[in-house]
């Protein structure tokens, strides 16, 4: 009986001690028994297209603020607010009454000046030969010459005043300097407006072509420059990049643009370098202020290694893949990735051509798992 009690006590102690065993830390569990059926693919190198992506925003090619060049009462708005206008269209009319009167007065002053000048020229023509024959005094000749010159100056002044009056009359018709879309009117009809910066009437936006502004961070630019310097990345011939846009609904714009501006320095506030692309916009698919996804194309990865996107996993320390080793086990390999190319992603570091990666059944695999290679799904 005593031996039996001792056996039961020993058994109970073993159970209790086993129940108090600490759980194994994640990742410390032994790999599953038996090989796991999984797709395995050999890593190959090839020349692959590369691109740079950023968020961009559209901007009108020209943004022209419309002001009056003369003072007066705003008589009429001649355009539909928000509508399309053409260069030369009259947008506003200022009451021309005072300007018509000034124009008629300037014409009359010119006529009078021309008559006075004509009379002075006739007098000079009569006095000059008399003075040469000593039949008129030198004072009379000097007076005649002065009168003719004064008359000529008065005509010139009158013509300048007439030209200004004609110009002011023309300024009563405020016209669109470019074709585009006109904003709402900022001043109501009947209001007295002053020429200059305080009399903004509206704004015209020229939207064909259209600008798209975007930027890259200093880190992005340095990585791009380093890749070019190493020969891993090759720029397009003659530096002609294509810019592709993805719109807010996910659709890709049916035309590409060209980079038309690169900032010569980084923005101190944002740490980014600005770029601008120009797009034809005759179909008006783009409007100022849109946010778009920008893809700069034309670059090429040389002898790049790429793996299926599904083979790349993300862990606490970043991206990694499972490498199929010669002993038919899986091991973790940290990698850095770049562009997507179809269903594959470029691996910029961590793998070399000829190695093999596991491409599926990844949720079942742990470091050291035995792998039974199967066709990649």
Q: In the CATH scheme, what is the code of domain 31-48+304-374?
A: 2.40.420.20
Region of poorest pLDDT, from 113-117, 260-264, 335-339:
335-339
pLDDT at 15 over 50: no
Q: Which helix (H) or strand (E) holds 330?
A: strand 330-334
Cα separation of 294 and 99, whole Å? 52
The CA–CA distances, whole Å, from 203 to 63, 206, 248, 269, 376 equal 7, 10, 26, 29, 60
Give 43's DSSP letter: -
Q: In the CATH scheme, what is the code of domain 96-171?
A: 1.10.287
Cα separation of 298 and 280, whole Å? 19
Q: Which helix (H) or strand (E) holds 142?
A: helix 138-171
Cβ–Cβ under 8 Å, residues 172 and 59: no
**Residues in a beta bridge with 92:** 77, 174
Structure confidence at residue 227 as a pLDDT band (50, 70, 90)? confident
Region of poorest pLDDT, from 69-83, 122-136, 143-157, 258-272:
122-136
Cα separation of 179 and 88, whole Å? 8
- Amino acid 233: pLDDT: 87
pLDDT at 289 over 90: yes
Region of poorest pLDDT, from 52-56, 64-68, 226-230:
226-230
Region of poorest pLDDT, from 25-29, 169-173, 204-208, 277-281:
25-29
Give per-residue burial for 123-157: e unless 16+ CB within 10 Å, then b. bbeebbeebeeeebeeeebebbbebbeebeebbee
Cβ–Cβ under 8 Å, residues 373 and 324: yes
- Amino acid 48: pLDDT: 86
Rounded percentage of the chain residues whose pLDDT exceeds 70:
90
Tell me the pLDDT tens digit for each residue of 67-113. Answer: 999 999 999 999 999 999 999 999 999 999 999 999 999 999 999 99
Crossing angle of helices 138-171 and 97-132, rounded to 10°:
160
pTM: 0.72
Cα separation of 131 and 42, whole Å? 114
The architecture of the domain spanning 51-60+211-302 is Beta Barrel (2.40)
Tell me the pLDDT tens digit for each residue of 252-268. Answer: 999 999 999 999 999 99
Greater pLDDT, 304 or 107: 107
> Does this chain's domain 31-48+304-374 share its CATH topology with 96-171?
no
Give 257's DSSP letter: B
Extents of the domains making up the chain: 31-48+304-374, 51-60+211-302, 96-171
Closest CA to 312 of 352, 353, 271, 340: 340
Closest CA to 247 of 288, 297, 290, 298: 290
Tell me the pLDDT tens digit for each residue of 16-25. Answer: 444 444 444 4
- Amino acid 31: pLDDT: 55
Mean pLDDT of all residues in 156-175:
96
pLDDT at 34 over 90: no
């Amino acid at each position: 009986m005593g031996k039996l009690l001792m056996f039961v006590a020993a058994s109970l102690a073993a159970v209790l001690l086993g129940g108090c065993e600490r759980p194994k830390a994640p990742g410390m569990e032994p790999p599953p028994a038996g090989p796991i059926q999984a797709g395995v693919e050999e890593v190959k190198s090839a020349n692959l297209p590369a691109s740079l992506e950023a968020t961009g925003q559209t901007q009108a090619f020209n943004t022209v603020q419309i002001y009056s060049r003369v003072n007066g009462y705003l008589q009429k708005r001649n355009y539909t607010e928000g509508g399309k206008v053409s260069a030369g269209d009259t947008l506003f009319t200022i009451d021309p009454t005072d300007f018509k009167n000034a124009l008629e007065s300037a014409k009359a002053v010119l006529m009078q000046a021309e008559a006075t000048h004509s009379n002075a020229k006739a007098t000079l023509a009569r006095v000059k030969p008399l003075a040469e024959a000593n039949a008129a005094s030198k004072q009379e000749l000097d007076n005649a010459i002065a009168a003719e010159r004064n008359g000529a100056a008065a005509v010139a002044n009158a013509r300048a005043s007439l030209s200004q009056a004609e110009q002011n009359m023309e300024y009563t018709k405020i016209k669109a300097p470019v074709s585009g879309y006109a904003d709402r009117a900022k001043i109501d009809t009947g209001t007295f407006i002053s020429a200059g910066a305080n009399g903004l009437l509206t704004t015209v936006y020229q939207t064909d072509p259209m600008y798209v502004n975007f930027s890259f961070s200093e880190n992005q630019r340095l990585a791009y420059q380093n890749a070019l310097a190493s020969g891993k990345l090759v720029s397009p011939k003659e530096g002609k990049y294509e810019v592709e846009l993805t719109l807010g609904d996910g659709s890709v714009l049916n035309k590409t643009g060209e980079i038309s501006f690169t900032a010569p320095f980084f923005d101190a506030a944002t740490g980014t370098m600005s770029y601008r692309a120009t797009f034809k916009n005759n179909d008006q698919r783009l409007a100022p202020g849109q946010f778009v996804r920008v893809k700069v194309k034309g670059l090429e990865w040389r002898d790049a290694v790429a793996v299926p996107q599904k083979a790349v996993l993300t862990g606490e320390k970043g991206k990694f893949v499972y490498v199929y080793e010669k002993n038919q086990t899986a091991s973790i390999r940290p990698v850095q990735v770049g562009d997507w190319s179809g269903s594959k992603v470029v691996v910029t570091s961590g793998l070399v051509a000829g190695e093999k990666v596991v491409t599926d059944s990844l949720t079942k695999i742990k470091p050291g798992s035995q792998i039974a290679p199967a066709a990649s799904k």
